[in-house]
């Protein structure tokens, strides 16, 4: 389990994946809406996080180029 946070809205959400693993686009959307559900809000990152140690980065993955989100540890990369 990895917890993602948004310091502006004081929200948090978890995904069932560790750093380096990927989650579905549906999970990415669930996290984004849980952290910041406001369409025109610019509080943080595209994944809804703000000042979060962990982030979700969207990308194409696998044989069919499926859209998935990778769990990233911001203290270790980028």
Q: Report whether 38 contacts 49 (CB < 8 A).
A: no
Q: Report whether 5 contacts 51 (CB < 8 A).
A: yes
Under the binding rule (CB under 5 A), the answer on residue 43 touching Zn ion is yes
Under the binding rule (CB under 5 A), the answer on residue 31 touching Zn ion is no
User: Which region among 14-22, 23-31, 35-43, 60-68 touches Zn ion (by CB under 5 A)?
Assistant: 35-43
* Shortest Å, Cβ 8 to Zn ion: 6
Under the binding rule (CB under 5 A), the answer on residue 13 touching Zn ion is no
Under the binding rule (CB under 5 A), the answer on residue 36 touching Zn ion is yes
* Shortest Å, Cβ 55 to Zn ion: 15
Residues facing 58 on adjacent strands: 69
What is the C-alpha to C-alpha distance for residues 37 and 15, in angstroms, rounded to an integer? 17
């Amino acid at each position: 389990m990895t917890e993602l946070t948004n310091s502006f809205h004081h929200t948090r959400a978890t995904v069932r994946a560790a750093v380096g693993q990927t989650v579905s686009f549906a999970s990415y959307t669930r996290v984004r809406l849980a952290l910041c559900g406001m369409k025109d809000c610019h509080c943080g990152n595209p994944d809804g996080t703000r000042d979060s140690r962990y982030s979700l980065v969207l990308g194409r993955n696998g044989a069919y180029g499926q859209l998935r989100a990778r769990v990233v540890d911001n203290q270790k990369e980028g």
